[in-house]
Structure 1
Amino acid sequence: MIPSLGRGSEDFDTLLPELARGGLRLILPEPRGIHDCSTLDETDTLHDMAADIARIIEVESAAPAVLVGHAAGNWVARVLAHDRPDLTCAVALVAAIVTNTVPKEVSASISASFDMTLSDHERLGHLQRVYFAPGNDASVWLQGWWPDVSAAQRRAARQTPDKDWIRVADMHPTLYVAAAEDVISPPPDLDALCNTIGPKAQNTVIANAGHALLPEQPLAVAQSLLSWITNLPPVAASA
């Protein structure tokens, strides 16, 4: 389970009880630069970030694995699935940008989320505007932001010119878990999704949620993942 831009694996904590009850083995790697983890090198790309996850899967003897990438974590999930199909049985993209371009004003609020010189009140306004559905409590995301990690991950993405990994659903069963009120990545329809990432794509839409999604509707997200994983084709399901 791979977290979003500049955020840690604890974002998945609210999903874990339901997923564990469903019998899944869960691995939550901490991105480089968080807590005591070493940082990304200046020359690292998304392929290097994916290689970190690959090593963990190998050490844990967890292949083939279902890769779950939340928001920007979908980059790493897709690159890993492309680079190491032997370690991958399926991919889930949760509130991921795959068919749209982020508007400038939305991008500005994303950047402001990492600006710790702003007051909590200012940051809360940005969080509510771009990450949470109206009426949902954005204050749960005031903490947990790692600006240096975000900058390093964005640099790695810029330094990844190849795009073969984008069409992950050409090779692997892929579920897109969309948030109905996501202003960063509005839910794509299935035709647009398949045209962009490949014919093995499926989608589901979670109501009353924005781009944060995990803290907003953890049970619905966990149940969507469980239902899909348990109905994967026999070869994938054998993982």
Structure 2
Amino acid sequence: MTVLDRTATSSLVRRHTFTRAGVTIEVLDQGEGPAVFVLPSLGRGAEDYDAFAGLLADRGLRTLRPQPRGIGLSTGPLDGLTMHDLAGDVALAVESLGLAPAIIAGHAFGNFVARMLATIRPELVGGVAMLAGSAGMLPSGESPYDPEVLAALARCGDLSLGDETRLEALRIAFFAPGNDAGVWLGGWHPHVKAAQRVAEAATPVSVYFAGGEAPILEVQAARDTIAAPRFAHVLREQLGERVTTVVIPDAGHALIPEKPVAVADALAGWIVARTG
């Protein structure tokens, strides 16, 4: 099923739903040109990228945003998921739209789903873009998070807490100093976040670390406290020249609401260079 509406960017958005094996995935589809699927951060949905999708459409890209199951019109079991299941949901969207091989851009947690898809269904993926995405594996003895950041990360989407408490947690975990953390007070889906955490824990990072053999764009936020810049070398050291790294200044782990134009430029430039 396909319906039409408009986002705040005034760009026409086509909304599709596709169903297979008891799972329905809603996809927001905007623009024309080479296809890029944008996968959201942990416990968050496609609406985070309304403005960003417009920027990509303006740069000549067809931007597709699958809603994670449990958000919007996307439905399916949430118990006992693995990363295979989450990647399969994206595969359903890519296959149903006939857009393989497509660029899969994963924001934060979404980068794990993108790399999983490239691992299990390489024929569907023309490249993976990691937007503020952690490599997932660190050098021996390194700790990924400062304890304060880890505690703040848990508070951000805890809707039982007051706005001021959550706002301060967002500033610590997701946003660089001076950027507006208030834009992420809403948009959290705790039941989806919990299911995605289970899927992550059920699937060793080693399974999808390499992202198959796909080319990888690593868009690093210079002030990221989650996917810290000091670990940006990990993927390049392991995977070599198929990894391209771009650093966005004055941005934290939220990245896209902080510096949407810079991220759109980096992503579009990489895609256009690959597709001509």
TM-score, normalization by structure 2: 0.80
1:96-115 equivalence runs, <5 A = 96-98=133-135, 100=138, 101-115=144-158
* CA root-mean-square deviation: 1.7
Identify which of 179, 197, 222 aligns with 2:221. Answer: 179
In the superposition, relative to structure 1, how do residues 190 and 42 fare at CA in structure 2: closer, same or farther (>3 Å)?
closer
The secondary structure found in structure 2 opposite 1:28 is strand
Partner in structure 2 of residue 156 of structure 1: 199
Match of residue 55 from structure 1: 92
CA apart distance, 1:117: 1.1
Match of 2:248 in 1: 206
Is the contact made by 2:166 and 2:185 (CA closer than 8 Å) also made in structure 1?
Answer: yes
More helix by share: 1
- Among 167, 190, 193, which residue is 2:210 paired with? 167
Q: Is the 8 A contact 1:40 1:152 kept in 2?
A: no
The secondary structure found in structure 2 opposite 1:53 is helix
In percent, how many aligned pairs have the same letter? 43
Kindly tell me the number of residue pairs found equivalent between the two proteins: 233
Would the alpha carbon gap of residues 183 and 189 (structure 1) be closer, same or farther in structure 2, given more than 3 Å must change? closer
Deviation at 1:186, TM superposition (A): 1.6
State the shift of 1:103 in Å.
2.8
C-alpha deviations, 1:102-146, integer Å up to 9, x for none?
233212111101111111011000001111110111001100011
| SS class of match (2:116) | helix
One of 201, 216, 221 as aligned partner of 2:263: 221
Mapped to 2, the partners of 1:213 and 1:119 lie a distance apart of: 24
1:171 is displaced (CA, Å) by 1.0
Within-5 A mapping of 1:15-34: 15-34=52-71
**Offset, 1:40:** 3.7
1:188 deviates by 4.4
Checking the alignment, whether the CA contact within 8 Å between 1:14 and 1:214 is kept in structure 2 is no
Residue 172 of structure 2: aligned partner:
129
Could you tell me which amino acid in structure 2 is paired with residue 87 of structure 1?
Answer: L
Determine the C-alpha separation between the residues in 2 that align with 1:223 and 1:40. 36
Q: 2 CA distance for matches of 1:191 and 1:113?
A: 28
TM-score (norm 1): 0.92
Give, in whole Å, the separation in 2 of the partners of 1:43 and 1:186.
Answer: 30
Provide the secondary structure at the position in 2 that maps to 1:150. Answer: helix
Compared CA separation, residues 28 and 196, structure 1 to 2 (3 A): same
Residues 47 and 198 of structure 1, relative CA distance in 2, 3 Å threshold: farther
